[in-house]
Structure 1
Amino acid sequence: MIAPPLSPHFSKLVLLAMVILVSACTSKPQPSNPPTLTKANIYINQLAFDVQAPKQAVVALPIGETASRFIVYQDSNMIYQGKLTSQQSFTEWGQGAHYYLADFSQVKRRGEFHIVVNTPKQQLASSTFAIKHNAYFALTAKSLVNYFKASRHTNPRDESIRMNGTERYVNVSGGWVDAGGDQGKHLSQQTESNFLVPQQGAVAAWAMAKSYDSLNRLYDRKALTLELAEEVIWGADYLHRILDSEGYFYTSIFDQRGFAEERLITGYQGAEGDYNTNFQAAFREGGGMAIAALVRAHELSNKTGVQGEFSAKQYLTDAERAFAHLQKNNLRYLDNGKENIIDDYTALIAATELYRITKKSKYLKAARHRAHNLNTRITSQGWFISDDDERPFYHGTEAGLIVIALVDYLAIERNRQIKAKTKRTIKLSLDYQLTLNSQVANPFNLARQTFKSYKDDQYSKQQEGFFIPHASEANYAWQGESSRLASLTAAAIWGGKITHSDKDGAFGINDELAYFAQSQIDWIMGKNPYQVSMLYGFGVNNPPHAKSAGTMLNGGISNGITGATSSLNGRGITWAEGPDENNRRWVEQWLQNSTWYLLAMTAMTE
């Protein structure tokens, strides 16, 4: 959850601590909770691989200790031997280790397996993992649906909540809580950052409906269709309630993580979480995704017969009314009064969904306008420009959503010239991501990104790195990047099927992109320097509990690993370093983490 600190007093302490940390920062910041690299380890996805998917482990050996081969065992039976591939020297996250890759993609037998590496000094054995068809859906889909249901907000107090700045009370009941430690409900947060605004709340309903559209037979076979549809409708009913009579959605129902005197329909900003009356959701502030979610809910309700308090027809009526309103009023609701790339891709998704269902030409026209904007924002190198200047697009939550928006748009576009331009944009973006990943030593194949840090109203020179900078327009609000990684997996697969297709390749895409897509999920599932599986209830080592992170649920995914706390540019690495009140940056289960994993799982299963 991206949110203010726990209380005003605590906020001041955190800000003071950050000042101290920043002043102590050096050009090569040292992580405050470095991984243990001087001990030999096999880093591997602790859950599973699909039969046809790329399969790799990272083997780290102390400098001076060597190995040349690895063995894959099923129980005590040796089923595969392979050569370890030595990697370039990699020291960004610490000294003392040399890395090797163990690639066992040729293993397509189903079952439970582990890897063994023998060195002159010791024998290493990995954790056990599964290989099976539709592995992630088969193993995790039910837990994901249960996670969303367990995350419902059901407190009846939300049936009458005051709108900040007025004496008007509104029924805003329903929806899902934002995170394990936050009972707030948000379409978006950090709106004052303008360029790092995340899609929340509504994107979960959209993602679940989108997943069903792709995998309906599997949901039917697993007897999960009813439960999934009920969650989508639960979300759609909430969106109807928070759609104001004027035509805008409320961004937040918030009580400062329980520390405020009153729970309000409100906007807020800053490290103190100061309330304001800017609670009208622009396209980039959740409005676009709320429209898209309502259209998907309309479609799903008609397909399954599942109905909530409001009808499928009402959802579509709401979506069309809200879209018309934002087409006229979006600039009024933006913190800086200027649209940027996030408005473009969220409005594109909304317009695409509306045209897909209604076939009204005005929505195709709107979609073409937004797609044109995105096609002109891509540079010749392959990175996107966020604004009307030179700020590169990067995002800690939804870095892959631009490509996904363009992929969905291609399904409704018939103009060959426009389609060609859009495909070029997707290809440039995916190629650039692969280039970024190969420019430096990167044994884990972790997705890198291009950014400019931001401090004292000044941008730095353009940089590349593994983690988002801590000095950004969002300032105090940085956290682990599980969502970002999962979003890039979904984008790589869906986009790759259009621009990097290989009918015989894993996920239907070429090998390099398939390995990239798999590697981001591997990282989430434990193939990371801390050997932590962020998906709670799965894998060998799960995140620790933290009071500040609140409830931990099976199927929930922790925020994840970040750059070192002391690094303004996100260099180095750290994880759950403490104290407890700060651990929610890494440990807390945020609704979007499971949402983006759901979409990645869907893409990997199709």
Structure 2
Amino acid sequence: MRPASRTISLFPLALLALLAQTCTGAQASQPEPLTVQINQVALDSNGPKIAVVESRSDASAGRYRVLQDKHQVGEGELRALPAFTEWGEGRRYFAADFSSFTQTGTYQIVVDMSGQSAASAPVPVHANALFSTTAASLLDYFKKSRNTSSADHKIRIYGTPRYVDVWGGWNDAGGDNGKYLSHLSYAHFFNPQQASMVTWVLAKTADSTPSLYRQAGLEAAVLEEAFWGADYLHRILDRQGYFYMTVFDKWGTNNAERVVTGFEGIDGVYTRNYKSSFRAGGGMAIAALARASILARNSGKHGRYTASTYLADAQRAFDHLEKHNREYCSDGVENIIDDYTALMAATELHHATHQQRYLDAARLRAAHLNARLNASGVFISDQGERPYYHGAEAGFPIVSLAYYHEAETDTLLRNQASKTIAAALSKQLAMNRSVANPYNYARQTFRTFADGRLSDSSYEGFFMPHANETGYWWQGESARLSSLSTAALLGGRVSNPDPAGAFGVSKELAEFAQNQIDWTLGRNPYGMTMLYGFGKLNPPSAESAGTMLAGGISNGITGAQDSPLGAGIAFAPGPDEEQWRWVEQWIPHSAWLLLNASAMAPKQ
């Protein structure tokens, strides 16, 4: 993610301003009196299919028609939704549920209300819809995001005279050719999993669902990309056993030296905190290398290095972090992100080696996560009462426990993990139900941070609070939504299985999982698909957001700019140097969507 200021590009900025005015109700552009918002990319034949209708009339009822390949196949009464004004006055919301229509085809919803009519964008409906529609573009996005600069063969480690080879990997975002296992470490609780997460997702899905890729003709492509990532992780593993956290040049500004470094704040101040802790990408780098070793053994393929090298790297790094992790934590204290990333590392090493010591390590981390869930169902991130909230991977605690649950052999420990997952998912669903929520957007519990301290009170809201420990970082939440959808699917199959239900989970969890993806894929108040190259309307370009690639996913929608709580709603209101918050593409978004698509597909 790049916060650096850029020269203003007038055409994109004008377009962004127009979009902001249109979609937030500014009077410069008259809003449509009736709109039908729908997932514009793909809906699964047997999954939930719900369009959201926004009306600016006083009508309290209306009807909808279901068109399949332009022919009417059904109709019904719109379901009125509770009054909702947080994102703008003067709107009424309705739902058109066409989940019962399961035949393959292209569908549209046409709404008639008070003499007005409006149609949704078209949406294809078929089996295994999300994966088969998006996987090729997601893989192509990663390939086109590769960093192949020869300069990275010899990069200095900040604060030392040492030079190392850190060639390969992926550019982090559309406007950022830095390479990160993680950033935001100085803020303690906001580390996102970046390059190592991409590698793990590619290796994990390639190994666990190979038939999905084979049927799509993508088997060679996913293997190539997974091993590209694993090779990079090998290169950034120091001889002492730690991973280099970032390769960074202050977002390419002011001729800054490109170095292995840590950095802080909106100015990108270099620090010597460049050794990755579990939470700063080290845990997921270990998990990725362990899974890459399994993939190499099972496929008979590998990258520049071999299965035995990938596994030896993972084991050496795990042993090192087991001894030194707290030294590398920004505050010297482990938190929830260390727990779930170390749990992933230990679980994958157990899969790769079947050694008891890794299962023992996984059990310890799972016990930590279980203990972090408070009585209300909220995970606690620290040693006190700070609730866990995250702009990119809020579903990861549940996801890590679900994968651990697969590996665990002890019935009591499996049941404990299942109980934690069930309580956390129940809390998430309860939060979504607790207020009017026409789009079923995943709400979160948080505390704000200002003047060097957390607020005394906890809040619940739709978007990340802008007043947080990073001092500047808040953005759209496409990755967060995919992570929570994945958590509902994987966690739901552990705690709330329904073999006959959509995606193998309860109806409420299936709708929650689908609705989070729907938001990213066009069923939002802006009618905009964040997955570039798909749908009726994509985010516009902006100078500060850099290159836009098909298969890349923009950050997305946020709370209003001027709200410390992240209340209200906004998309790209400007100025240009801020547009990265909404428009810029970021590799974790596409990684989480690919994992989500694999989880949503029928069990192979």
**TM-score when normalising by structure 2:** 0.95
Structure 1 unpaired stretches of 5+ = 11-30
Go from structure 1 to structure 2 and tell me whether the alpha carbon gap of 1:76 and 1:199 turns closer, same or farther (over 3 Å shift): closer
Pairing 1:360–2:355 present:
yes
2:260 corresponds to: 265
2:151 corresponds, among 141, 151, 157, to 157
Q: Does the CA-based 8 Å contact 2:347-2:362 persist in structure 1?
A: yes
Q: Does 1:442 align with 2:437?
A: yes
Residues in 2 aligned to 1:221 and 1:40: alpha-carbon distance in whole angstroms: 41
Whether contact under 8 Å (2:293, 2:311) holds in the other structure is yes
Letter in 2 for 1:43: Q
Hey, what does 2:576 align to over in structure 1? Answer: 580
Render the CA deviation track for 1:215-270: whole Å, top value 9, x for unaligned. 21121122211110111100111101000011000000001111143100111112
The range that moved more, 221-230 or 536-545, is: 221-230
C-alpha contact (below 8 Å) 1:90/1:98 kept by paired residues: yes
Counterpart selection for 1:486 from 482, 488, 500: 482
Mapping 1:173-252, distance limit 5 Å: 173-252=167-246
Of residues 556, 580, 584, the one that matches 1:560 is: 556
1:507 is matched with which residue?
503
Superposed, which structure 2 residues align to 1:449-598 within 5 Å?
449-460=444-455, 461-598=457-594
Match of 1:381 among 363, 376, 389: 376
In 1: Cα distance, 2:5 partner to 2:289 partner: 33
* Counterpart amino acid of residue 92 in structure 2: H
Matched, 1:308 2:307: no
Contact 1:38 1:97 in 2 (8 A): no
Quick one: distance in 2 between partners of 1:32 and 1:335? 41
CA displacement, residues 144-184 of structure 1 (integer Å, 9 cap, x when unaligned): 11111111000111000011111111110000110000000
Which shifted more, 85-94 or 32-41?
32-41
- On the 8 A contact 2:33/2:57 being kept in 1, the answer is no
Secondary structure at the residue paired with 1:286? Answer: helix
Query: How many Å apart are 1:382 and its aligned residue?
Result: 0.7
Counterpart contact for 2:61–2:77, Cα < 8 Å: no
Which residue in the other structure is 1:35 paired with?
24
Query: Is 1:123 aligned to residue 112 of structure 2?
Result: no
User: Which residue does 2:4 correspond to in 1?
Assistant: 5
Worse-superposed segment, 32-41 or 158-167: 32-41
Alpha-carbon offset, residue 515 of structure 1: 0.5
Which of 79, 87, 91 lines up with 2:85 in the alignment? 91
Distance 2:123 2:471 in 1: 39
Unaligned runs of 5+ in 2: 9-19, 26-30
In structure 2, what is the Cα distance between the partners aligned to 1:466 and 1:39? 25
| Percent of residue pairs identical | 50
Q: Secondary structure at the match of 2:582?
A: helix
Which residue pairs with 1:370 in the alignment? Answer: 365
Q: Which residue of the partner structure matches residue 15 of structure 1?
A: none
CA–CA distance in 2 between the matches of 1:514 and 1:242?
A: 39
Give the distance between the partners of 1:4 and 1:581, measured in 2 at CA: 7
Q: Which residue of 2 aligns with 1:317?
A: 312
Shift of 1:33: 7.8
Q: Report the CA distance shift for 1:319/1:572 in structure 2 as closer, same or farther (over 3 A).
A: same
What CA deviation, in whole Å up to 9, does each residue of 1:546-588 have, x standing for no partner? Answer: 1111111100000000000100010000001111111110000
Mapped contact 1:32–1:564 kept (Cα < 8 A): no
For residues 264 and 329 of structure 1, the distance between their equivalents in structure 2, rounded to whole angstroms, comes to 23
Deviation, structure 1 residue 38: 6.2
User: CA shift at 1:4, angstroms?
Assistant: 4.2
Q: Secondary structure at the match of 1:80?
A: strand
> What code does the residue aligned with 2:117 have?
Q
Q: For residues 103 and 223 of structure 1, what CA distance do their matches in structure 2 show?
A: 34
1:214 shift after superposition: 3.2
Give the structure 2 partner of residue 54 of structure 1.
48
Q: What's the CA shift string for 1:7-29, capped at 9, x where partnerless?
A: 8x99xxxxxxxxxxxxxxxxxxx
For the pair 1:601 / 2:583, whether they are aligned, the reply is no
The answer (yes or no) to whether the contact 1:34–1:573 under 8 Å persists in 2 is no
SS at match of 2:270: strand
Worse-matched range after superposition: 258-267 or 459-468: 258-267
CA–CA distance in 1 between the matches of 2:159 and 2:373?
41
Q: Could you tell me how far 1:416 is from its partner in structure 2?
A: 1.6
The match for 1:20 is: none
Paired amino acid for 1:309: R
Aligned letter for 1:341?
I
Aligned to 2:290: 295
Contact 1:34–1:94 under 8 Å retained in 2: no
> Post-superposition shift, 1:301?
1.4
RMSD of equivalent CA atoms: 1.4
1:456-499: per-residue Cα shift (whole Å, max 9, x none)? 12222100000010001112011100000000000000000111
Please give the alpha-carbon distance, in whole angstroms, between the structure 1 residues aligned to 2:314 and 2:342.
Answer: 12
* Distance of 1:44 and 1:446 partners within structure 2: 14
CA shift for structure 1 position 302: 1.6
Q: TM-score, normalised by structure 1?
A: 0.95
Q: Offset of 1:415 from its aligned partner? A: 1.4
The residue type equivalent to 1:241 in the other structure is: R
Q: 1:38 to 1:74 in 2, by over 3 A?
A: closer
Aligned length: 584
8 Å contact 2:174–2:547 — kept in the other structure? yes
Q: Distance in 2 between matches of 1:399 and 1:378?
A: 14
Kindly indicate whether the alpha-carbon contact (under 8 Å) linking 2:61 and 2:80 is maintained by their aligned counterparts in 1: no
CA deviation string 1:260-298 (max 9, x = no partner): 431001111122110011100000000000000001111
Cα 1:117–1:34 shift into 2, 3 Å:
closer
Partner of 2:17: none
Distance 1:32 1:101 in 2: 25
Deviation at 1:306, TM superposition (A): 2.1
1:276 aligns with 2:265: no
Letter aligned with residue 35 of structure 1: T
Runs of 4+ aligned structure 1 residues displaced above 4 Å come to 31-34
Secondary structure at 2:209 match in 1:
helix
Instruction: Tell me if 1:69 matches 2:58.
Output: no
Moved more, 509-518 or 61-70: 61-70
- CA–CA distance in structure 1, aligned partners of residues 21 and 185 of structure 2: 30
The code of the aligned residue for 1:397 comes to A
Q: Which whole-Å CA distance do the structure 2 matches of 1:518 and 1:261 have between them?
A: 43
